[in-house]
Chain A
């Protein structure tokens, strides 16, 4: 069975600085997708970034980028130039071949002014 682990329950960063959120996963599949979702307090889940396992190039979306290490089964999210609006809970998710998403426990990120 696939599992997703986020080992940092809470993190904080100063506004304008860079922060990295960690995620590891376990699977026997070779082709799959990984995602980071953001869930602001009392608001809905928003897709931040997507990575396809067959692509070696790390995905980038504006200030968000990932470090995908397939052999190590690691998928970290880097947020550059952190903004107050980045304060949220961040979930790492693995998409199984059947389509369902398996989520980690989440990391609460606080951006401080």
Chain B
């Protein structure tokens, strides 16, 4: 197993466009988390899934954001009508529920111009 993977690694988009990011967790982990990190700051929680169920959403997750995890495997995070304030690193993590340790992917860096 190669760990958590995220695609794309970088995305540049124009304001108002829609973007979608993908996260593939470690295969035996049933929890998957999304975080957002701006430059020089710690990551902020956005949402998480246990299997295919989305169990918690942060108030940071406006109605322009939607996340899915069909069949409890990979997850997608979509941002509609992007704004410049959406520019950030979007991190995905999967959790080993036995040890409660979250392992992070490399992130998708979004730049909205």
Residues of A within 8 A of B (CB): 4, 33, 35, 37, 43-47, 50, 91, 93, 95, 98-106
Q: Is the CB of B43 within 8 A of A99?
A: no
Q: Provide the residues of chain A in CB contact with B43, threshold 8 Å.
A: 45, 91, 101, 103
Query: 24 A-B pairs, CB-CB below 8 angstroms?
Result: A4-B42, A37-B104, A43-B106, A44-B105, A44-B106, A45-B43, A47-B102, A47-B103, A50-B100, A50-B101, A91-B42, A91-B43, A93-B42, A98-B55, A98-B56, A99-B33, A99-B56, A99-B95, A101-B33, A102-B45, A103-B42, A104-B42, A105-B42, A106-B41
Q: Give the A-binding residues of B (Cβ under 8 A).
A: 31, 33, 35, 40-45, 48, 55-56, 58, 91, 93, 95, 99-107
**Complex CA distance for A106 and B31, rounded to whole angstroms:** 25
Chain B: minimal CB distance from A39 (Å): 9
A-B contacts, CB under 8 A, total: 56
The 3 closest A-B pairs by CB, nearest first: A103-B42, A45-B104, A100-B45
Q: Which B residues are CB-close (under 8 A) to A37?
A: 104
B110 to chain A, nearest CB (A): 15
**Interchain CA distance A40-B81 in the complex, whole Å:** 32
Q: How far is the CB of B43 from chain A (nearest CB, A)?
A: 5
**A100/B42 contact (C-beta < 8 A), A44-B106, A45-B91, A50-B101 known:** no
CB pair B95–A106 under 8 Å, yes or no, is no
A100 touches B101 (CB 8 A): no
B65 to chain A, nearest CB (A): 16
A4-B42, A99-B31 given. 13 additional CB < 8 A pairs? Answer: A35-B101, A37-B104, A47-B101, A47-B102, A50-B99, A50-B100, A91-B42, A99-B48, A99-B95, A101-B93, A102-B45, A105-B42, A106-B41
- Inside 8 A of A104's CB, which chain B residues have their CB? 42
